[in-house]
Amino acid sequence: MIILYAFISEERHQSLLNRYLPVFSEEIKRDILRYKRWQDAQLSLLGKVLLRHGLRTYYNIPDVEIGVLPNKKPYLKGHNLHFNISHSKELVVCAIAEYPLGIDIEYNDPKISYHDFTFQMTPNEIQEIQDAEDEMNGFFTYWTRKEAVIKAHGAGMILPLESFEIANDECIIEDEKFFIKKIFIHEDYHSYMASSDPEIKKTIPLFKHFEGDILA
């Protein structure tokens, strides 16, 4: 498994667009350029660039076609590899692995109150957050783990956060067991991975941080 990540930069925005947009299809270009905020456009672009670079550099896959499953989850056509992309605030992350997975990162925003989200929590989860030494840290741990599981499951917004509960970094959804692993990317962000494959608990990812225009 490899985890590639990068931070967005307004100063480099136009140069990034000029360099990397031409390598993608017209459909992908339109998807990226439809964003009104430069931050959203760059996050979308860098997620795709990180995936392309990771496949080329670490898996010797120069070109790949991305399909979309009925549940809207993208996949790599013709390859037994899986990927997932997440972004928050100024950070975008792409994980590539030999088994299905979900990854989620969340910026530790001090303006957020967990009380606004209790309707999406089980009583045990609310209690766990309230018992935490740092309630906000407890909330983001809850939120990021749940989002990683939902992305690994592939149900998207159809699956309510309060419909399943995580205990000891494991949970069951529709008779399918998921395993959760905490990862560290940056001190200002919370990050977790999830998979139905228990291998994720033993995996030690290779982390690659990219800056500037060094992506191939």
Kindly state whether residue 162 falls inside one of the protein's structural domains: yes
User: What's the CA gap between 5 and 92, in Å, rounded?
Assistant: 6
**CATH assignment of the domain containing 25:** 3.90.470.20
pTM of this prediction?
A: 0.93
User: What's the CA gap between 32 and 204, in Å, rounded?
Assistant: 32
Kindly state whether residue 90 falls inside one of the protein's structural domains: yes
Kindly state whether residue 215 falls inside one of the protein's structural domains: no
> Which residues, including other chains, have CB under 8 Å from residue 200's CB and lie 6 or more apart?
97, 99, 101, 179, 181, 193, 194
**Three-state secondary-structure class, residue 210:** strand
Kindly state whether residue 193 falls inside one of the protein's structural domains: yes
The stretches in the chain having pLDDT less than 70 are 156-157, 212-216
138: domain range?
A: 2-210
Kindly state whether residue 157 falls inside one of the protein's structural domains: yes
What pLDDT is recorded for position 212? 61
What pLDDT is recorded for position 213? 56
What pLDDT is recorded for position 215? 55
Average pLDDT score, the chain? 92
- The number of distinct structural domains making up the chain is 1
User: What's the CA gap between 23 and 201, in Å, rounded?
Assistant: 35
Kindly state whether residue 38 falls inside one of the protein's structural domains: yes
Kindly state whether residue 216 falls inside one of the protein's structural domains: no
